[in-house]
Structure 1
Amino acid sequence: MQQRRFGPFTVSAIGLGCMNLSHAYGTPPSAEQGERVLLSALDAGVTLFDTASLYGFGANETLVGRVLKAHRGRFTLASKGGMAGVTGDDGVVRRVIDGRPEAIRKNCEDSLRRLQTDVIDLYYLHRWDKKVPIEESVGAMSRLVEQGKVRALGLSEVSAATLRKAHAVHPIGALQTEYSLWTRNPEIAVLEACRELGTTFVAFSPVARGFLCDAVHDVMAFDAKDIRRSMPRFEPGHHARNLALLPGYRQLAKEAGCTPAQLAIAWLLHKDGNIIPIPGTTSVEHLREDLGAADVKLDASLLQRLEAHVNQQTVSGHRYGAQARAEVDTEDYAA
């Protein structure tokens, strides 16, 4: 497996986003299947595992901790706080964004316990709580570094301006946001800011939440709890228009001698040596397919045609619905 820099660490060029094993796309796989995926990734040379307090309201960290604790020295562990499941007076667990120092401290302590480790290698602020200055939240996270509970800091779904404010308080080792052929927002400003500051850019949803795997054809079949139900691009009208992109996209993958999923990930690897994609999957077979993208070579002509075919102008619909758009701080293209 090729290696890339991740904050102060060196990790596999493709990491594993662990969210799918516990969260977001309907009924999660069994614990046994999750274990198979995690251990298969480790055996295949993956050395970056990405989880969060939010995923499964702690279930994902618990899974990662239980399965990988015996191998802790073999990989770099990233998790996130500042957005977690909180149980209300009615007994219902709800997602809450809370960037207050006391909340961040508690999130981190809870994560360390679930992950069964003494230290988290890179700890992200999952969402900037806009009621709390970013400097205050990052200041609290920097104290976790001083206490030896965290080795490096990261941010998720923030703008270049917010990254720079945070970096002035404490070095930001990594910034994570959605980036793929069909979500190009980071190209507005954040990628350049990361290069300037020496911050690694981590691309989540590199295969467009399954769309660029050529695997999402019937949105009406989504599970009731599948988060894609709230995303405009998967609404029937937008989705029908987006499906028209797939024949040409399949042809480009064929020319490249790879699968559609591998083409999407390989594109990211070719864009910049500072980018690490973290695809997620519940299947060992798909995991191996994704990791095969590291061996795909794309020439300049194919890259140009690929970017012209799938981009912000050719994709129909916004990546997020109104609520999710209000919660992130990323730059956006004009509607």
Structure 2
Amino acid sequence: LRVYPNGMRYGEMENVVDGEGKPRKISKIVLGTMLEGAVDKFTHGLALFDDFYERGGTCFDTAHIYGTEKVLGHWFQTRGVRGGMTLIVKGAHPPRCTPDGFRRELEISLDRLGTTGDIYMLHRDNLEVPVGEWVDALSEGVEQGFYRAFGGSNWSLERLQEANDYAKAKGVAGFSCASNNFSLARLVSPVWDGCISSSDAASRAWFEANGLSLFSWSSQARGFFARAARDFTADKELVRCWYSDDNFERLERAQKLARERGVSPVVIAAAYVLAQPFPIYALIGPRALAETSDSMGAFEVELSADEVKWLNLED
């Protein structure tokens, strides 16, 4: 494998370092490893991973529930590239969303992957578990060397703040990141139960003020900017989760700007996500190599602050 010339951009996170203590270069586009729609997840996954690596990708997002951790672990082992990669591991999805469930799933995940993680994410929150219990369990994992930083997927800002206030008072590691939905299109209805979006103005202000990294899932609104049209209703989930008058106005503006820039609306939507004034990374779940290529186009477009506001109907 080799990395070809590309426009990939990178960020860094505190404590996410390599074996020499140097900050890892975390690619701003993160490859999700759910491998939806793949008939042969093993062969399909290896091809996607190779292609992402060759485009400069360095960050992979996986989860206990995806059933693909062994594929990614095999890729790390056979390609010999683990040292330069950032690995996000998620676990504790309901009904095992408890500190004990987290510990059991973590052990299984790391065994499947054949390596420790860089970032561990709780796949959901459990409001019946006090945030202090989560922080104690997760910070213990850092101390034991299972991962270097942790965060929460689909966590409310209130719970994130409460958790980090607890961690600061106790003098232990707190949440370094979150993985909620963030996209140009507003999430009308949750894609899955328990999902949280952080695309609204209050959430954007909170992330900017607090400096946590946001790993945005469904950052391209699950195909809304590629396939949506007012008269296209065959995809019931696309309609349920993303169809609204304000989102179609965003789509029309993305299409207009795309025509002016000579790119696709998907590229404009991806560029919007990466143009935010806080640390943000866009998770993608391509089903084909061409979709990864489309996402890379986001680095060829620079959006001004006024264009970002205009796209989001803030003008």
Query: Aligned pair 1:107/2:99, yes or no?
Result: no
1:82 maps to which residue? 92
CA distance in 2, matches of 1:125, 1:39: 27
Q: Give the corresponding residue for 1:193.
A: 206
1:12 aligned partner: 27
Residue correspondences, number: 280
1:1-335 aligned at under 5 Å gives the runs 1-9=8-16, 10-19=25-34, 21-22=35-36, 27-30=37-40, 31-55=42-66, 59-69=67-77, 70-83=80-93, 96-117=94-115, 119-167=116-164, 168-169=166-167, 170-183=173-186, 185-214=198-227, 218-220=232-234, 228=237, 232-233=240-241, 238=243, 246-308=251-313
Higher relative contact order (CA 8 A, sep 6+): 1
Instruction: Give the TM-score taking structure 2 as reference length.
Output: 0.80
User: What amino acid is aligned across from residue 62 of structure 2 in structure 1?
Assistant: T
Instruction: Give structure 1 stretches of 5+ with no counterpart.
Output: 84-95, 223-227, 312-335
Kindly indicate which of the two structures has a greater share of residues assigned to strand: 1
Identity %: 29
Structure 2 CA distance for aligned equivalents of residues 29 and 4 of structure 1 = 33
Equivalent residues of 2:183, 2:199 under 8 A apart = no
Amino acid corresponding to residue 218 of structure 2 in structure 1: S
Taking structure 1 as the reference length, the TM-score comes to: 0.75
Distance 1:153 1:233 in 2: 28
Q: What value does the CA root-mean-square deviation take over the aligned residues?
A: 2.6
CA contact (8 A) 1:214 1:261 kept: no
Q: Deviations over 1:106-145 (max 9, x none)?
A: 010011011111x110001110112211221221111111
Task: Say whether the 8 Å CA contact 2:185–2:250 is kept in structure 1.
Answer: no
Aligned in 2, Cα 1:195/1:250: closer, same or farther, shift over 3 Å?
closer
Look up the match of 2:21: none
Q: Deviations over 1:215-252 (max 9, x none)?
A: 68754357xxxxx37x7236xxx479966764443222
Q: Is the 8 A contact 1:97 1:127 kept in 2?
A: no
* 1:81 positional shift: 1.2
2:122 and 2:152 in contact (8 A); partners too: yes
- Shift of residue 300, structure 1, vs aligned partner: 4.1
Structure 2 unaligned spans of 5+: 1-7, 17-24, 168-172, 187-196
